[in-house]
Structure 1
Amino acid sequence: MTPSDSNPSPLTFSQAEKEEAGMIAALRRASSIGVKVLENQAMKEAPDRDAILVMAFGTTYSETRRKTIEAVEKDIHRLYPEIPILEAYTSKIIIKRVHLKENVLKASPARAFRKLKEEGYTRIAVVALNIIPGIEYDYTCLFAESQLSMFKKIVISTPLLYFQGVKDQRDDVADLLEAMKGQFPPLDDGDAILLMAHGTPHPANAYYSVIQDRIREMGLGPVFVYTVEGRPSLEDIIPPLKKQHIHHVTLMPTMLVAGDHANNDMAGDDPDSHKNILIREGFTVSTYIHGLGENEKVRRLYAARAIETMNALLNKK
């Protein structure tokens, strides 16, 4: 053993402690649940100037945008009229298409955070309009964390579905279904409702199974969840529909907006639309083309996420 091995210098030991402290802080953030609170100690003396950033995937359908994304933003503004609200779309393709179609330039996350910095805001509440904590929500969280060096504090909301009633936690899945059931049509013998969700290769796809289980627990009747890009697929639920002698189905999106998936994949006139696949399988089909953001009770859930996030930003219990 050399002298340097047996007697590490204070500088070396201090550096190791700093690295360990940074690692522990990162691990704590990674293992925490709920609203994510990120603080930049280098700016702890900076004045508090607060802003809200609403982040959504976006849509090229202007009418559903007004009734959903913008409606949620207006609800949040009514709660916090003195705090500025900015908006960012996470989809570059949507930003480009809206610009070409409407000559409206939606901000990307980078553009929105840069604007907040330029205007002197130091504490940012990020309200994520995702449904599940999947790929898009992970992107929102990671991008926000990458901006922390420019701000004193960033707090990120949970998505619409997060907690599942474990121990003393709320049950977001049951709350969503309670909010949605008012838009369900009456069901006679042979009727069913098919809730079209997005689906994802992310493990958060498991939320759709939880939704189906809560439907059963709540006694909502023949209501089935399927996804566009995950499991269960439409093909997965057709055999159970036939086994239960269902002959009429109502297709309903479980997405914030009624955009391309709802209007084309679900209810379009192409042969491979869900509507036409079901018709060929012998079902009669009705469609309900409204995004979740049009449902006032669902918007209240998003408002609750905003309140929870702002309370964390303002250090309120």
Structure 2
Amino acid sequence: MAHIRYTLHEGVRAAGEALRRAASLGLLVAEEPSLAGGEERDAILVLSFGTTFRQTRKKTIDAVVEEVRRTCPHVEVRLAFTSHIVIERVKENEGISYPTPEEALRKLKEEGYTRIALASLDIIPGIEYSYKREVFDACRSWFHRMTLGTPLLYWQGQEEKRDDVAEVMAAVAAELPACALDEAVLLMAHGTPHPANAYYAVMQERLEELGASRVFIYTVEGRPFLADILPKLKAMGVKKVTLAPLMLVAGDHAMNDMAGDEPDSHKSILQREGFMVQTMLRGIGENAAVRKIFAARAGEAYEALCRGADA
């Protein structure tokens, strides 16, 4: 599994804890030797930010979880949300109680599970994924073995690692509408203050390498802004724009920030700039190829769970 984990150079013979932690890139594996022995009970815990939009949740988050179950049919698979606000609103509006990651792990421990694979439904390794790493570190001692898989995008083809970005962008581009010379597609990503915001530049580059020269990525809360894209569209003579979310779900950002009728929505801004605008309200979790990649990431975490320190 060298393509999904970083290993220190063989010449490093006496790495201290600080160096080992700094070099813990890719899929993570932790063991608690004191809990070895006895029958092992395995589970996969899928971790998602969550959404209050019921219909898109069924088509995306729930659909990914079902894909994970198909990938690992003999393993207990559960779901936890990281957003406390989403958890509260879903419970209030739908009567459904989703646990936080810590609550879900505590329950698994109480039920006697000994090996846990954490699967992330994040797109990039930003703040949300950093939170999952903290959960991994905080709870790893509860179980004989724990693993944490990578988000949808992690490796970029460096040092003989695979190119997650190329794989995912090809899957996304395959479901985008074809563009005439006066048309373009704008993909709205979330954006983050985390340095992982730089992934969007790599994603844009991979789209161009795929020949999707009229597809542009912009973000709600990072860079590039929609305003950064407008001059490019005008210089290319674009008249018609299709807006689509580059997010797992088509939730609040897609329905309101992107496609809403308010004056500050992205659709309204583009219309005032003279563009014809249509919207695609489908999260990338509705893309079957993307769901399979998410499930593959979970499968990697489970395989490492079974192999342990040899993974």
TM interval, short-chain normalised = over 0.9
RMSD over equivalenced CA pairs, Å = 1.3
1:65 and 2:57 aligned? yes
For the pair 1:164 / 2:156, whether they are aligned, the reply is: yes
Matched, 1:97 2:79: no
Name the structure 2 match of 1:53.
45
Partner of 1:41: 33
Segment of structure 1 superposing worse, 161-170 or 118-127: 161-170
Is 1:237 equivalent to 2:229 in the alignment? yes
Tell me, what secondary structure is at the counterpart of 1:133? coil
Moved over 3 A (4+): none
Aligned AA for 1:182?
A
- 1:46–1:152 CA contact under 8 A, matched in 2: no
* Pair 287,181 (structure 1): closer, same or farther in 2 beyond 3 Å: same
Q: Is the 2:117–2:147 contact (alpha carbons within 8 Å) kept by the matching residues of 1?
A: yes
Q: Aligned equivalents of 1:26 and 1:73: distance in 2?
A: 35
1:77 pairs, out of 22, 44, 69, with 69
Could you say what secondary structure the match of 1:183 adopts?
Answer: coil
Q: TM-score scaled by structure 2?
A: 0.92
Q: Say yes or no: does 1:119 pair with 2:98.
A: no
SS at match of 1:147: helix
2:247 aligns with 255
Identify if the C-alpha distance between structure 1 residues 112 and 26 changes in structure 2 by more than 3 Å, giving closer, same or farther: farther
Deviation at 1:46, TM superposition (A): 4.9
Which position in structure 1 is the counterpart of 2:291? 299
Q: What is the alpha-carbon distance in structure 2 between the residues aligned to residue 236 and residue 292 of structure 1? A: 23
| CA distance, structure 1, for counterparts of residue 133 and residue 170 of structure 2 | 28
CA contact (8 A) 1:174 1:214 kept: yes
2:217 counterpart of 1:228: no
1:153 maps to 2:153: no
The alignment status of 1:132 with 2:143, answered yes or no, reads no
What residue identity is the alignment partner of 2:96? V
- Tell me, in whole angstroms, the C-alpha distance in 2 between the residues paired with 1:207 and 1:81: 33
Matched pairs, number? 295
Is this contact kept in 2: 1:29–1:36, CA < 8 A? no
Query: 8 Å contact 1:37–1:156 — kept in the other structure?
Result: yes
Q: Is the 8 A contact 2:182 2:240 kept in 1?
A: yes
Question: Which secondary structure does the structure 1 equivalent of 2:16 belong to?
Answer: helix
Measured against aligned partners, the alpha-carbon deviations of 1:84-141 in whole angstroms (never above 9, x if no partner) come to 1111100000000001110111111121011101100011000000000000000011
Q: Which protein, 1 or 2, shows the higher relative CO under an 8 Å CA cutoff with sep ≥ 6?
A: 2
Which amino acid is 1:129 matched to? L
1:46/1:122 contact within 8 Å kept: no
Match of 2:306 among 301, 305, 314: 314
CA deviations 1:235-254 (Å, max 9, x no partner) are 11111111111111100101
Q: Aligned with 2:242: secondary structure?
A: strand
CA distance, structure 1, for counterparts of residue 112 and residue 144 of structure 2: 11
| Of 182, 188, 192, the match for 2:180 | 188
| 8 Å CA contact retained: 1:68, 1:256 | yes
**Cα pair 1:162 1:172 within 8 Å, conserved:** yes
2:209 is aligned to 217
Q: 5+ unaligned residues in a row in structure 1: which ranges?
A: 1-22
The residue identity in structure 2 corresponding to 1:32 is S
2:245–2:254: 8 Å Cα contact kept in structure 1? yes
Contact 1:129–1:302 (CA under 8 A) maintained in structure 2: yes
1:48 Cα deviation from its structure 2 partner? 1.8
Give the whole-Å Cα distance in 1 for the aligned partners of 2:306 and 2:80: 22
Pairing 1:87–2:79 present: yes
Question: Structure 2: how far apart are the matches of 1:152 and 1:255?
Answer: 34
Shift of 1:26: 5.0
Unaligned runs of 5+ in 2: 1-14
For 1:173, the aligned partner's letter is: V
Structure with max Cα Rg: 1
Code of the residue aligned with 1:184 in structure 2: it is: L
Q: How far apart in 2 are the matches of 1:82 and 1:26?
A: 37
Residue equivalent to 2:24: 32
Tell me how far apart the structure 2 counterparts of residues 48 and 228 of structure 1 sit (CA, whole Å). 44
Q: Is the 8 A contact 1:251 1:287 kept in 2?
A: yes
Residue 39 (structure 1) shift: 1.4
2:251 counterpart letter in structure 1: G
1:149 positional shift = 1.9
